[in-house]
Amino acid sequence: MHRNQHILVVDDDKETRDLLNEYLTQMGFLVSVAQEGISMQAHLNSQGYPDLILLDVMMPGEDGFSLCQNIRKHSNVPIIILTAVSDETDQIIGLEIGADDYIAKPFRPRQLMARIKALLRRAQPDELLKPTMITFGEWKLDTLSHTAFNLHTQQTIELSGSDFNLLMLFISHPNEILDRDTISCAIKGRETLPFERGIDVQLSRLRQRLGDTGKQHKYIKTMRGNGYIFTAPVQYGH
């Protein structure tokens, strides 16, 4: 199932790199490793972007946050941030700057594999079954380029992979209340964890991208105690 899918592991700890390389290779992935930002960039320049990047936060030179921001300027490749076990701040910052998910060290291999599978499934939707243009409110979404064009301001924005997947989830379920676990299962392949703020961060980021930040949200409304609902009219086209 995973044959030929390419994962880049970026971590300054040799033991972690070796363990991930061995485990992911056994699971059928093509694996590359880099020990810091310079070697990561050299790999991207020579080999192009992989199917997924595992990116450690604490590294010499540029840290994982800076590297994630730089990657997001050029690619929507799925990124999983590797954080310290108790550092919720790292997790929130990672999601705010465009990471798709995070996992705390030390982690169980099967737990990591579940996160990887979920992101890779969502990064490769069936384009034949998906309309190429979707209009909602004042926005026209291009599902092939992951860009949205504002019909009023003429502004075009690029959506990260996680922002696009979250938006498509809401568009696919208009006027339907989606609770936090439903959202997390759909975009991450798992239920939310106790006290996890990742969904809140991603929703806030998507609202900001869409200019939906007023007291009365135009697109994604909060249903207190229940979840969220997408209320904009949706039109499909090609």
Which residues in the chain come in under a pLDDT of 50? 1, 126-129
Which value, to the nearest 10 degrees, does the dihedral of the CA atoms of residues 175, 180, 182, 184 take?
130
Q: Tens digit of pLDDT for each residue in 160-196?
A: 878 888 999 899 888 999 988 888 877 776 666 666 6
How many angstroms separate the Cα of 19 from the Cα of each of 16, 26, 66, 106?
5, 11, 25, 12
Q: Give the homologous superfamily in CATH for domain 6-123.
A: Response regulator (3.40.50.2300)
pLDDT of the residue at 142: 92
pLDDT of the residue at 19: 92
Ranges of each domain in the chain: 6-123, 127-237
pLDDT of the residue at 54: 96
According to the CATH classification, is domain 127-237 in 1.10.10.10? yes
Identity (one letter) of the amino acid at 182?
Answer: T
pLDDT of the residue at 187: 74
* CA pair distance 229, 39, nearest whole angstrom: 43
| The model's pTM | 0.63
Cα radius of gyration (the chain): 18
